[in-house]
Homo-oligomer: A and B are copies of this chain.
Amino acid sequence: MIKPDTSELSTLSLAIIGLVSQKPCSGYDIRKVFATTPMGSFSSSPGAIYPALKRIERNGWIRGKTSDQKSLRGKSIFSLTNEGRKLLQRRLLRPITRDDVIWRMDDLILRFTFMEEIVGRKSTLRFLKEYRQETETYAASLADTLEEMRTLLSTSARLALEHGIESYRMNAKWATRSITEFNSPTQSNPQN
């Protein structure tokens, strides 16, 4: 009984699909982005990128075109299919869970990066509000734990816990600021 929901997508695959959605690119292009930009928290190793591209293509979410018809190893440019765009939309619109906030913060930020163009400003704002809510709530629950355990904790254990609390609070603040920036009419784009 293998799970038939083929819509699962690792964070790396999400990053790849997101990049391809911005503009068609080759495996090498993607590797360069991961190796030289602040998106560098993804592996740029060929052993990760090329198999991932094949998987994604096999699923019909991107399609590669060999530009150079002569050489056997023609550089292949991938672009997003309609199916791929639909998948990406679904993936980005998923409601944020507490588990996301505990285990997959990088995934959430990555989703945000592509969000505006793929699902529009309105959904992006909804995402940011959920994000603020979940990070604030989780920070509060960590703060409760801290108070309950304060006396039992060593200095480093306490400081590590405080690190977590501050980190989630910072995330909530960032979301708040992002919401106001998205609302400020730098550029009116009332679509969606």
A156 close to B40 (CB less than 8 A): no
List B contacts of A124 (CB < 8 A).
156
Q: A186: nearest residue on chain B (CB-CB)?
A: B155
- The listed residue (B109, B145, B186) touching A160 by CB distance below 8 A is B109
Instruction: Give residues 134-168 of A contacting B (CB, 8 Å).
Output: 142, 145, 154-157, 159-164, 166-167
Quote the shortest CB–CB distance from A148 to chain B (angstroms).
Answer: 11
A174 and B162 contact, Cβ closer than 8 Å, known pairs A38-B142, A41-B102, A167-B167: yes
Copies in the complex: 2
Return the CB mask of A167-189 against B: 1 if under 8 Å, else 0: 10011001000100110001000
Q: Give bound CA distance, A174 to B158, whole Å.
A: 12
Quote the shortest CB–CB distance from A126 to chain B (angstroms).
Answer: 14
A155 and B167 contact, Cβ closer than 8 Å, known pairs A41-B103, A160-B109: no
A154 close to B109 (CB less than 8 A): no
List B contacts of A41 (CB < 8 A).
102-103
Quote the shortest CB–CB distance from A156 to chain B (angstroms).
Answer: 4
A112 contacts chain B at the CB level, 8 A cutoff: yes
A174 and B181 contact, Cβ closer than 8 Å, known pairs A112-B160, A116-B154, A160-B112: no
B174 close to A40 (CB less than 8 A): no
- The listed residue (B155, B164, B166) touching A181 by CB distance below 8 A is B155
Show 19 A/B contacts (Cβ-Cβ < 8 Å), sorted by A. A38-B142, A38-B164, A109-B160, A109-B164, A112-B160, A113-B157, A113-B160, A114-B156, A116-B156, A117-B154, A117-B156, A124-B156, A155-B182, A155-B186, A159-B178, A159-B181, A162-B174, A166-B170, A166-B174
A contact set with B: CB distance below 8 Å = 37-38, 40-41, 102-103, 109, 112-117, 124, 142, 145, 154-157, 159-164, 166-167, 170-171, 174, 178, 181-182, 186
